[in-house]
Structure 1
Amino acid sequence: MMNHIPQGKYRPYPKIDLPNRQWPDNTITKAPRWCSVDLRDGNQALINPMDMQKKLELFRLLLKLGFKEIEVGFPSASKIEYDFLRRLVDDNLIPDDVTVQVLVQAREHLIAKTFDALRGVKKATVHLYNSTSVAQRKIVFSKSQEEIIALALEGVDLVKKYEANHNGEIYLEYSPESFTGTELEFAATISNAVTARWGISDNRKVIINLPATVEMATPNIYADQIEWMCRNLDNRENVIISTHTHNDRGTSIAATELAILAGADRVEGTLLSNGERTGNVDIITLALNMTSQGIDTGLDFSDVNEVVAVVEKVTELPTHPRHPYVGELVYTAFSGSHQDAINKGLAYQQAKEEPFWEVPYLPIDPADVGRTYESIIRINSQSGKGGVAYILEKNYGYHLPKAMHPEIGRAVQALSDAEGRVLESEEILKVFKDNYFNIKEHITFKDVSLTSDNGNSKCTLSYLHNGKEITSQGEGNGPIDACKDALMKEYENNFSVKSYSEHSCGNKSSAKAVAYIEIQSEKVLSCFGVGADNDITVASIKALFCALNRAFN
């Protein structure tokens, strides 16, 4: 019997009173300020937190990707957090244009320890936070709104106290933690109190971080909350509104994008969404979403394979194969109709001069993030003929005529059905060669000599037929026609040539000619043959013999 959720256990999140909301009509036109919290928020969520070497490797990756703001830890919380920041300072690993960020609670001994760790840092953001939500005030702290504000202001005063003796620039970030569970009026009141106590001005801007510490409602609600705060924060022009969304409802990406529409200036997140519970917002997905809209994000994700490799190594967490943009399978099509559309789209893209990306099913060019085209189409029992042709062309240089696609497609699908799995490209090539090059022969090409006069070709053709060597002459309006004429002097199977195509295959210096011939007869509606040789005429005749052996064996 199905269990029912008790009535009244959950309640809908209340709507935000926001007359004339503006964000639904806005468009994202520029990237926000990015802040990676992988080394702090991400690290605290790991089964095995990072050691020094892993932290350093991840920090180097974040710099390489272009992050200018990096939360490096909670130096007052543990020795490894403290030692890591000191290592960055002592080894001069922080570039001059990068601001490191440190998290701290509003307690003097923790703030003192934090500033001790910051000795020698030229630019740092001190991220001060305390919980403000109704649930936290009622259940965890048993404090009134006034007491919560007093705690935040005590923290600001302490940061100002230690800032006075720090030889470098200090910026303040304040987070009303669990913002999404906090009354908006109270969130604005405490944030305004913090910025006023800090002494906000043109030269002393403050980051107000509004975290969806727990994602509690649909993304449009978060956007409403951000726009409401934009309207109700004092000195808005000097406040940098930051988002920090978690993924409890699975909509952190959408919530962050709508928050940017609503006026957010800055985004905190992690690579590949690592973070507490269901994770933080994934900055890779956010940034590449913007890239797909023509926005320069300032971050370099041109080699996502390296990013995935480093993050998986330091976090010991796997990446889902369907993770947007970076998963192993996200640029892969198994469906026949998808494969056909992608194949045509790539050919169209290559042929046109205008660079605008117009390939069906691929929102961005995989090459832009360091992925190759080899993995775009993979063959299983659901795949179509176009996918097989794509693999043979892209991986091995065989440009199969379109009419031939169903023939080779059926042969490959038969193997995939029998194996019950995805086929490797080498296996597809083997099916192709087994069906067109390594076939049982009842008639075998040996040699040919050709002459041509005013478009008329004459040939002397040598071949084996059922163990008998035959040499005969023929003529026609081309080499293939002349060869057919020679064959029909003794060959018993009547046929006609339905189609012919050819191309070179391989590097220019060692290219082979490849020919495709389609024949038909009273018994065989269509059968293709393939031939390859250094000489295109010989390749064509080999293709004809291949077709005869396949059609009449």
Structure 2
Amino acid sequence: MMLADPSKKYRRMYQRVDLPNRQWPNNEINKAPIWMSTDLRDGNQAIFEPMNIEQKFKMFQMLVKIGFKHIEIGFPSASQVDFDFTRKLIEENHIPEDVYIEVLVQARDHLIARTFESLQGAKRAIVHIYNSNSPTFRKKVLNVDANGAKQLAINAATKVKEYAAKQPETDFIFQYSPECFSATELEVAKDVCDAVTEIWEASADNKVILNLPATVEVSGPHVYADQIEWMHRNLQRRDGVIISVHCHNDRGCGIAASELAIMAGADRVEGCVFGNGERTGNVDVAAIALNMYTQGVAPELDFSNINEIIATVEECTGLPVHPRHPYAGDLVFTAFSGSHQDAIKKGFEFQKNEEIWDMPYLPIDPRDLGRDYDAVIRVNSQSGKGGIAYLLEANYNVVLPRRLQVEFSQVVQQVADDEGVEVTAKQIWDLFTNTYVAAKDAHYSTKNYKLSDENGSQVIELDVVVNGEIQHLRGEGNGPISAILNALQLPIDVVNYEERSISSGANAKALALIELQVQGAGKSAFGAGVHDNIVTSSIDAIIAATNRLIDQGLLKKDQVAAAV
């Protein structure tokens, strides 16, 4: 079967831009834009199960920690969860002084009223209204002409201004999006945007945001850059406007379109941390920010512990970060090719700590993201890693996290190289238990424990053997894992935790896998526990990982003894 003749089915969906003296091709990005995260709104709309309030709160805390100052938290007029989450942030005072929460609302009166109800008592907020002005939407969705679409925006902007006046205690910023901007005639987009900024009295002292989205990516990024520069030149009240861009990735060019848009005059970029979003996703903010970073431009966002960010995003969205994802993927710093490895090893011989980073095949220093060099310079084990993962899953129902796959493959590869024979599934399992499970008895071990529930918290009491003596410990947390860590009182954080059954029926065993990281060190160790009881497995996994941190010199033995 062959593709149909495209000339009979498709047409150009954008207007050609008459911009003979375009300036953006000669411009460079020399400072970070204003960043706006839409992970909690656009990203949340694009997952199998939308986040609950607890997951949204965890994601919000992560976004604040990364450094976002504009965070779109939801669609409170359309979702009770989003409404309740907005109220939680405001009433419990979780919003930092320098952060604006943003809420989206359609250009409809009753939804605008509900939105302002959700924002009662907020110190600062962005109210974001939108409607589409593109020919397709005017004709097939809204059944209006260009003037009718403009009137929808005017009515909504007027209502927003009226409602905001009733809440003078809140510092409001108004935002308008002509949805599907990139498929809208530029004169039509300019006309409606100018009408909105006139109502909102945009000025240098009263900035408003005009978001010019590629809601559906319908052209090359160079065309989008022309569209942004045209608006940048021709908008009225430009000194009172923050031009924002919101690029989707339908053609796979969202990052390029956003970067060229900044060069063309955009002041602000909307997107999701790792590119989640409707259809093919929103623009990937981490990639744009780290692209800037590798060019010597401070991105004003902190990705120095990217593994922790990945773990939070994966937990809250249920979506994995691809192993080949730019910068964040588990395999992006791993060279499987022998020639690549040789070049990287030679590059390390020349690279000095204080010099400008200049390495073969590595555009960024993995240490800047909280990674180390172990996976970069390891012996080629592509086939070995895949075979190990297959045998463990097929024979023991064990699926290892990707970073653990990479690390454990080195253990198996060493045995295969030393013995020169095939490594069986049982040998692989024995190597795994000897490396990650048996470590629970290496330095410190547990004897007895008791887990109880007190006032909604999990409380654990356990005996730990320290230098031959039993120490009685007690810890409290929101679950068994946090209770155990609080009992140990060590400077370690959980990077990743997984549990699963590795058999079935009466002989079922629970496998717990945990990755612990020493605070401030950016280095971690894995531990595993296998037992009939998942809590026992979790305790064993934590102790095993702690002992392995000691073996690796990341924790000192007397440091652990002093803590417990």
* CA-to-aligned-CA distance 1:103-136 (integer Å, 9 cap, x gap): 1112221111111110111111100101111100
Deviation at 1:433, TM superposition (A): 5.5
Measured in 2, the distance between the counterparts of 1:307 and 1:174 equals 30
Scaled by the length of structure 1, what TM-score is found? 0.69
Matched, 1:359 2:344: no
Query: How far, CA to CA, are the matches of 2:83 and 2:332 in structure 1?
Result: 39
Q: How does 1:100-139 map to 2 (within 5 A)?
A: 100-139=101-140
Checking the alignment, whether the CA contact within 8 Å between 2:129 and 2:156 is kept in structure 1 is: yes
Q: Return the match for 1:306 from 295, 308, 311.
A: 308
1:4 lines up with 2:4 in the alignment: yes
Q: Which amino acid aligns with 2:374?
A: E
Please report how far the alpha carbon of residue 373 of structure 1 lies from its aligned counterpart in structure 2 after TM superposition: 0.8
| Local SS of the residue matching 1:208 | strand
Once the two structures are superposed, residues 336-355 of structure 1 have per-residue CA deviations (whole angstroms, 9 ceiling, x without a partner) of 11101111111211xx3642
Are the structure 2 counterparts of residues 336 and 71 from structure 1 closer, same or farther at C-alpha, using a change threshold of 3 Å?
Answer: same
One-letter amino acid of the counterpart of residue 124, structure 1: A
8 Å Cα contact 1:99/1:124 also seen in 2: yes
User: Secondary structure of 1:39's partner?
Assistant: coil
Q: Deviations over 1:112-166 (max 9, x none)?
A: 1111110111111100101111100011111011111111011111011111111
Q: Which residue of 2 aligns with 1:425?
A: 410
Offset, 1:9: 1.0
Q: What's the offset of the Cα at 1:382?
A: 7.6
Distance 1:257 1:348 in 2: 32
What are the residue-to-residue correspondences of 1:309-348 with 2, within 5 Å? 309-348=311-350
Distance 1:258 1:221 in 2: 10
Q: Is the 8 A contact 1:65 1:299 kept in 2?
A: yes
Structure 2 match to 1:371: 371
The whole-number CA distance in structure 1 between the counterparts of 2:194 and 2:337 is 55
Q: Which amino acid aligns with 2:280?
A: T
8 Å Cα contact 1:333/1:376 also seen in 2: yes
SS in 1 for 2:43: helix
Counterpart secondary structure, 1:297: coil
Report the alpha carbon displacement of residue 242 of structure 1 after superposing the two structures with TM.
0.2
| C-alpha displacement of 1:422 | 10
Q: Which residue of 1 aligns with 2:561?
A: none
Shift of 1:365: 0.1
Alignment size in residue pairs: 396
Per the normalisation by structure 2, the TM-score is: 0.68
Distance 1:50 1:171, change over 3 A: same
Q: Deviations over 1:395-436 (max 9, x none)?
A: xxxxxxxxxxxxxxxxxxxxxxxxxx998222444466569x
Q: Partner letter of residue 373 of structure 2?
A: Y
- What is the alpha-carbon distance in structure 2 between the residues aligned to residue 433 and residue 329 of structure 1? 25
Q: 1:334 to 1:110 in 2, by over 3 A?
A: same
The equivalent of 1:83 in structure 2 is 84
Q: Is the 8 A contact 1:378 1:422 kept in 2?
A: no
**Runs of 5+ in structure 1 lacking a partner?**
384-420, 436-553
> What is the alpha-carbon distance in structure 1 between the residues aligned to residue 36 and residue 373 of structure 2?
32
**C-alpha distance after superposition, 1:77-105 (max 9, x if no partner):** 01111000000011110011100001111
Shift of 1:4: 2.6
- Distance in 2 between residues matched to 1:327 and 1:74, nearest whole Å: 30
Q: Distance in 1 between matches of 2:38 and 2:382?
A: 41
Q: Is the 8 A contact 1:379 1:423 kept in 2?
A: no
Q: Partners in 2 of 1:305 and 1:192 — Cα distance?
A: 44
Could you tell me whether the CA contact under 8 Å between 2:15 and 2:186 is conserved in 1?
no
**Using the alignment, how far apart are the partners of 1:92 and 1:303 within structure 2?**
26
Contact 1:342/1:359 (CA < 8 Å) preserved in 2?
A: yes
> For the Cα contact (< 8 Å) 1:380–1:422, is it kept in 2?
no
* Contact 1:240 1:266 survives alignment (8 Å): yes
Q: Which residue of 1 aligns with 2:32?
A: 31
How far apart in 1 are the matches of 2:144 and 2:15?
24
Identify the residue that residue 255 of structure 2 maps to in structure 1: 253
Q: Distance in 2 between matches of 1:214 and 1:279?
A: 10
Classify the secondary structure of the residue corresponding to 1:424: helix
Read off the aligned partner of 1:364 and give its amino acid letter: I
Q: Match of 1:74?
A: 75
Identify the residue that residue 263 of structure 1 maps to in structure 2: 265
* Deviation string, structure 1 residues 198-255 (Cα, Å, up to 9, x no partner): 1112221110000000000100000000000001101112110000000000010000
Distance 1:154 1:423 in 2: 61
Structure 1's 204 and 4: CA in aligned 2 closer, same or farther, altered over 3 A? same
**Structure 2 counterpart of 1:138, which letter?**
K
Deviation at 1:15, TM superposition (A): 2.9
Residue by residue, what CA displacement relative to the aligned partner does 1:20-63 show, whole Å, maximum 9, x if unpaired? 00000000000000000000011011110000110000000001
Deviations 1:358-396 (A, max 9, x none): 11100000000011111113444789xxxxxxxxxxxxx
Q: Aligned match of 1:224 in 223, 226, 231?
A: 226
CA pair 111-3 structure 1, distance change in 2 beyond 3 A? closer
For residues 130 and 123 of structure 1, what CA distance do their matches in structure 2 show? 24
Contact 1:223 1:258 in 2 (8 A): yes
1:394-543 matched pairs, under 5 angstroms: 424-430=409-415
SS at match of 1:207: strand
One-letter amino acid matched to 2:79: S
Deviation at 1:262, TM superposition (A): 0.3
Give matches, 1:120-269, under 5 Å. Answer: 120-166=121-167, 167-269=169-271
Shift, 1:16, TM fit? 1.3
- Once the two structures are superposed, residues 423-477 of structure 1 have per-residue CA deviations (whole angstroms, 9 ceiling, x without a partner) of 8222444466569xxxxxxxxxxxxxxxxxxxxxxxxxxxxxxxxxxxxxxxxxx
Partners of 1:174 and 1:200 in 2: how far apart?
12
The verdict on how the C-alpha distance between 1:434 and 1:95 changes in structure 2, with shifts beyond 3 A counting, is: same
1:15 partnered with 2:16: yes
CA 1:380–1:433 in 2, change beyond 3 Å: closer, same or farther? Answer: closer
Aligned pair in 2 of structure 1 residues 115, 433: CA closer, same or farther (>3 Å)? same
Q: What percent identity do the matched residue pairs reach? A: 56
What code does the residue aligned with 2:38 have?
V
Q: Which deviates further from its counterpart, 352-361 or 255-264? A: 352-361
CA distance in 2, matches of 1:121, 1:157: 21
Whole-angstrom distance in 2 between the partners of 1:113 and 1:270: 26
| Residue 61 (structure 1) aligned with residue 62 (structure 2) | yes
Q: C-alpha separation between the residues in 2 aligned to 1:232 and 1:3?
A: 41
Task: Rate the CA distance shift 1:213–1:89 in 2: closer, same or farther, 3 A.
Answer: same
Q: What is the distance in 1 between the residues matched to 2:249 and 2:47?
A: 16
Q: Counterpart in 1 of 2:486?
A: none
Question: Deviation digits for residues 280-306 of structure 1, max 9, x if unmatched?
Answer: 001000100000011111110001101
SS at 1:24 equivalent: helix
Check the 8 A contact 1:160/1:198 in 2, yes or no: yes
**Which sections of structure 2, spanning at least 5 residues, go unmatched?**
384-405, 421-564
CA contact (8 A) 2:67 2:300 kept: yes
CA distance in 1, matches of 2:285, 2:347: 29
